[in-house]
Amino acid sequence: MTLTVVAPARRKVIAHLSPELMRLCGYWNELEAIHKAFDAAAQQVVNTRQAPICVQGCGKCCIDNSVIAQGVEADYAMSWLAGQPQLHKRVMDACREWLTRPGQGKYSYGKGLNMEWFRSKAGQHEMQMAAHEPCPFLDPDKTCLIHYARPLVCRAYGVTHQAPDCIKPRGVNETLESEAWFDADYPAFQTSDGQMVSLKRIVQSFTRKIKEPRYAREGFLYFQMMERFYAKELAGLLDDGQIPIVKVAVGMGGTYRLLWQDQFTEAWSNVLADESIATQVPFKTGQNGLPVIVIVK
């Protein structure tokens, strides 16, 4: 005789979770579904190009980009990390290293961050500097320490918007003037009730339902991860003036992350006057100076 034992302990644990934690678990489930949608979009691009999106051992997109994420993504990453004890110290040391990198003379230090300064030319300049620091999660072998739990902005790179500084070889039907990417506005996904929705709508719907500021705010991933496990140490580092104030800046409303082509195009338009941008793009530009794009639907 074969007996199957169903222990009630897990049901009891779930039943005693706080309402907030129950909501967070729900957010995580939806976030994982969105990750799968980005995976499907990435596969579409691969199929269209008939070539990989990334070059193994490259890591170029991580060398000059620091990750902006939502609080719910930081919580998701920390939840995943809790099940990876062999990585915990390395990941948290990487967060600490990024926050405390020597920056005297480049960054402003202090205990407070007022919006007037942040919106000033100096504040925005420091934000750009911090955003283009190397990601500390890039391992020497050019793999990501938290690849499974990486935020949406990492998953979007080269999938739902172009990657102008990417060194990957051109795929089938791509030229110096075109690059394949997935149209996030196209209704490519079917919901449980039969509606066809776009990837952008899925993400925006998910973001809008998050009400708690802790989960809805956006900021650098490394600060938010430190905040969750090492809040007292983080406060001490801030009090001692070891962390630039711009690195702990958080905001609301999706102003930081570049997930879609229209966001990238707007950012591109803002720097067209900067001649140095031409050296960052390995292909010719089309009308209005913008790259010609092949849309994958």
Average pLDDT over residues 86-100: 96
Burial 14-46 (b: 16+ CB within 10 A, else e): eeeeeeeeebbeebbebbeebbebbeebbebbb
Interval 241-294: pLDDT, tens: 899 988 988 875 555 688 998 888 777 666 554 544 444 443 334 444 443 334
Does the pLDDT value for residue 218 go beyond 70?
A: yes
- pTM here? 0.83
Which of 153, 155, 151, 142 shows the shortest CA–CA distance to 45? 155
Mean pLDDT of the chain: 82
Interval 164-201: pLDDT, tens: 778 888 888 787 667 888 999 999 998 888 899 999 99
Does the pLDDT value for residue 225 go beyond 70?
A: yes
